[in-house]
Amino acid sequence: MDEPLFKRFLRKIRNRKVEKIYENYLNNPAWAKQFKREYFPPEYLIENKQILDFGCGRGRHVSVFSQLKGKVVGMDFKPNEFWRKIPNVNFILGSDRELSCIKDGTFDIFLAIQVLMYIEDDKRMLREIFRILKDNGCLLMQVTNKTNLYTLLWGRSILPEIDIKRYYRVDDIIALMKDCGFVIERVWMEKFYAPLFPISVNYFLEILLPNWTEKMASRLTPSRYRGLINVLARKRKVG
């Protein structure tokens, strides 16, 4: 069945906007510093840290950490043409199964942004992350919130449901990470998805509207109903 003309039109405009936004990520120190302020404590230094962005996709966060002078590796199961535009970064192909090939204590920072929901054995992956982090290393985890307002009202996911294994509540992801040895430093929620619009329109508005509009809507929404759960955690220092 052919895609409706209106949806094709929205997707075409959104793809163009996304390309432009990603191009802006490549050389945008101000945005990189803003990301650092929002996701990491001020005393935490990124420069010269060994960083793995697992499930890096196009490489948005890889670009950020490269601009912050981290030593970054991007890893995904399929390549992206955008990778060649990002300087001073190594990219490797692989899934969660290839994490077992990485030596113990290799990385200072591990990013898992919107990937854990797709992993068959989430506990095994978290234990692998714990193993390959250095002592006192940092994990930034982001997952979709099962109790976001859009899903509660419509019973539909805010993500394409292909290959998704599970969703998480805040207590679920915290308990899972603690069980795998992590010390939770910070938990916070973000992103507002308007339940009055289809999720495709939400994505379109997210790209089209200024960033401050979504942030304002997110602040006005009780945290338990926001779309995304962020967890910053550390590997316990041995001894």
Tell which residue, 72, 83, 76, 79, has the closest CA to residue 110: 72
The predicted pLDDT at position 149 comes to: 87
Q: Which residues are within 8 A (CB) of 107 and not within 5 positions of it... i.e. 6 or more apart?
A: 50, 51, 52, 73, 132, 133, 134, 137
pLDDT tens-digit map of 85-140: 898 899 999 999 899 999 999 999 999 999 999 999 999 999 999 999 999 999 99
Strand bridging mode 182-190 / 228-235: antiparallel
Q: In a 3-state reduction of DSSP, which class is residue 110? A: strand
- Asked whether residue 206 carries a pLDDT value surpassing 90, the answer given is no
Structure tokens at 93: 């192909």
- Asked whether residue 54 carries a pLDDT value surpassing 60, the answer given is yes
Query: If pLDDT is split at 50, 70 and 90, which confidence band does 1 have?
Result: very low
Exposed, middle or buried: residue 33 (CB in 10 Å: 0-12, 13-18, 19+)?
A: middle
- Asked whether residue 163 carries a pLDDT value surpassing 60, the answer given is yes
Exposed, middle or buried: residue 92 (CB in 10 Å: 0-12, 13-18, 19+)?
A: middle
More confident residue, 224 or 160: 224
Q: Which residues are within 8 A (CB) of 45 and not within 5 positions of it... i.e. 6 or more apart?
A: none
pLDDT tens-digit map of 58-79: 898 999 999 999 999 999 999 9
What beta strand segments (E) does 63-203 contain? 71-76, 89-93, 107-113, 133-144, 182-190
**Max avg pLDDT among 59-68, 125-134, 187-196, 230-239:** 125-134
More confident residue, 7 or 189: 189
The angle that helices 199-208 and 5-25 make with each other, rounded to 10 degrees, is 40
The residue type of 238 is: V
Q: Which residues are within 8 A (CB) of 11 and not within 5 positions of it... i.e. 6 or more apart?
A: 3, 200
Q: What is the mean pLDDT of the chain?
A: 86
- Phi/psi zone of residue 185: left (φ > 0), alpha (ψ -120 to 50 degrees), beta? alpha
Domain boundaries, the chain: 5-235
Question: What class does CATH assign to 5-235?
Answer: alpha beta
